[in-house]
A and B are shown apart, each in its own frame.
Chain A
Amino acid sequence: MVDLKSYLIELVSKCEKIVPYASALHKQKSGDRIQVNPYQESIEPEESSQGLVINLWNGQSFFEYASNSSDLSFIEKEVLQYAKYTLTQINPALAKSEIDPGPKTQKDFINQTDFQEELSLQQKLNIAKERVKLAQGLDSQVVNVISIVGESKSSDIFVNRHKQMSQQIKRSDSILVVFVSDGKNTADIHGGLSKNGGFDKVQINDEEIKLWVEDAKKLLSAPRIKPGLYDVVTDPEWSGIIAHECFGHGMETDLYTRERALSQHYLGKPVASEIVNMFDDPSIIEEAGGFYFDDEGALSGPTHIIKNGILQRGLSDLASAHKLKITRSANGRRESFSRKAYARMTNTFFANGKTPKEEMIASVEQGIYLKHATNGMEDPQAWGIQVEGLWAQEIKNGKLTNNVYSPVIMTGFVPELLQSISMVGNDRFISGLGMCGKGHKEWVKNTTGGPHLKMKARLA
């Protein structure tokens, strides 16, 4: 049996006899995903894939060879041939540059306690079934409940001339989707947790399930909101989507090299009210967007994106950091070995402030409380906002009323929205249920979150 890391070290060394820089990444994912509803059940491996990508720099551009072949001598032959080919693609009219391989690091990262077996598949299946039974029993309008319990293990090896690293990360998921119907209309609400670590990190309590059923029932007859500008309080999940979609994507520095991020012109300038702080931090390892090093070998750490309302810096992959001559952050991520690395967010969130949620709601004379956010879309060049959700609840004279509108969309201009933030909650919740695409593809796991926020927003 060939030791994979030794093979990669040797392969990188052989490549660097041809090209000025080479690195290798082997990615492997495995796990189980239990999915149960009242009508069918399945247990299937989750996100299973493994393969190798060799990154070659010819002095001007990156070239990559990726494969999941088990024939390592065939891969070596192909890669070395490809390395020679990259030299034929050099444009003599353009300058060459060197890639910094980073500080010397030899380390194997793993949190052993995460990998201790706690529950058997049968026990997890039983938990998933019990959640379905509970939700179904709560109301006759519940027509289906999908209960998902998942566990995935990822194992990465990264090698360049300075780095020989491996990491193993385990992630657990608990998700519930509740469908209710009045015979004519159907509505659904989902909730749950996704965290790095064992199953104990993703417990859903019965009270939450009851709340989701009650909320879903209200959606059946909820009218749409009258379009307009409102005083709004967002729950942490909604706040998180604002952080991620409205702002975070525009801070990915591969957009800077494409000159399509408005944020590039705002570095060092105010973009939000001075009570706003925002971070991206893959080193929060217990959150589902956490890791020890990224897919290009950068060690993880926090990036303070907005500090007291002032825009600080972006999130980089290797190519854009090299091109822009900026310090790398650990944001070079791939959907899998077969896809390119881009600058991507990890755990992205607003920092918490000082105001209790109750105080925020009490401060609103006429406005809306937003929760159950479902999705958003970025617009880094124009900083347009699109956040969609299922729940807009009226606030009147400082109190929540029973009037709920659904669905709801928030639109507007990002700096206007962030400048309008007048209160930052003293709570913080990070949701790991989402996946993030670059445009409409390249899906990676991210988390988003923050505290409750009070702001002015255009709703429809």
Chain B
Amino acid sequence: MNNKLTDEALSAYLDGELPPAQHKEVQRRIEASPAAQAQLEELRKLSGLIQELPRQQLPQEFADQVLQLAERRSLLAEPAPIPATHSRMSWWRPALGVSVAAAAVFALTTLLPQVKVPDNGKELENLAQRTEQSEPTTSPAAPADRAVRLGKATGDKDNSESFEAVVPVKSKSLKSDEVGSPKVQIADSAERRQAKPGKDLEVKNGTRLKLPADQEWNRERIGEIIHAVTVDKSGSRVAVIEVAVVDIQKWVWGVEVLLQKGPLKETQTESDVVAVYVKASEDAVTDALAQLHTDGVKLLGMEMREPIEIAELPSQQQQQFFDYQGIGLESEGNGKKQSLLTSRLDPPTLRPVEPEKELADKATEAEVQPGNSKGKAAEPAVRRRSSKMRSQLARIAENIFVPRDLARKRSGEKQDIAEEQLGVVRPVPPAEESVDELDPKADQPKMVRIIFLVQRATDSPTIPTQQQKPTTGGGGAA
């Protein structure tokens, strides 16, 4: 046994990691060698020095922080890039990944039954229990079974209150280390608001989407991100949105905050984090944010995205978009809306994205000179459509699927959020046959689509019961 081996063996001997035979051999050598004894003692002291380092504990809120972060990520997860051409099924793969991530929270809770319960009672097992308890109780059916059943009964009234889609439109999402940023947004918005005194606040209804009836929906799909587009009332603007599948039972509270701007209402859910989609004016958003902060709610983050004008889509995409209009139109006869979401559509093939600058130039040019020849030459097919067709599109005001590529079309924009994102709707050049109908100078409130993630403060005051129920709205939490 050379010195090096002896040294290493001494170290392993100290740790009790030698095989029995070698252990005895090293022990015999140590007993016979004062130098080896001194060396062993030195190693023992060294080991003691490391072991005496003080132990520290994480703060009690650590578990909560982890859960909140995991929930946020499951809701706000950025989708992975997808090639421009892919099969219809491939649309769903990233979304399913999100679903798995959300489901993992449930799985871990059952996998770690020994989880310590912090004093404030927030830990994984309770999360799972809360989630299960918040399952709609109007039906005795198992959650998954009920979800499937309701998903198939698209026109059923109960369906509209069970699983819900909300529309966080992605662009410059605030990252986890930018949680404080919304405060900056609020301040900025407040300044802009002061610059426009007298402008009425307006909060329009949140959008409630029904899920496709031809798919299986269950709790595991909560948190899943799917894509859709919405058409504004003018019929010339389309917002490509990402839709998170949520449990309506967990969203009512947050929606009430934004839509009613009144005191918070206690709901049956004990969810700490809710996400809220709202389609609102800039001022309304400012007001809603201020409301959130004054009602004992902590804003965790928000994200916004500009709508995309149909005119900016490639012509083929525009054509397909219009071709979709006959699919899933509202059934107004019985007063119930039919689902306009369907996965039966083949994904439109997108051509390479037109340079943003060129698009912007076209828009600006047409806006300044809506009737000149250059503006007409650059006019996409959509603007040559009849006003009747636009009216049909406006009637839809619902959702159809589009490929994720479309949603990414403008994701690379590097515009200041305060200046650009809050003023999300670009002026749309009016169609030549309906200038009056689509007056770009109309003083319409700027609309944004936002997902708020809010959390009740732990020391929030007692929340009074709300006087009035919101009539519409959508929201949820995974």
Do A and B pair up? The answer is no
User: What residues of chain A have their CB less than 8 Å away from a CB belonging to chain B?
Assistant: none
User: What residues of chain B have their CB less than 8 Å away from a CB belonging to chain A?
Assistant: none
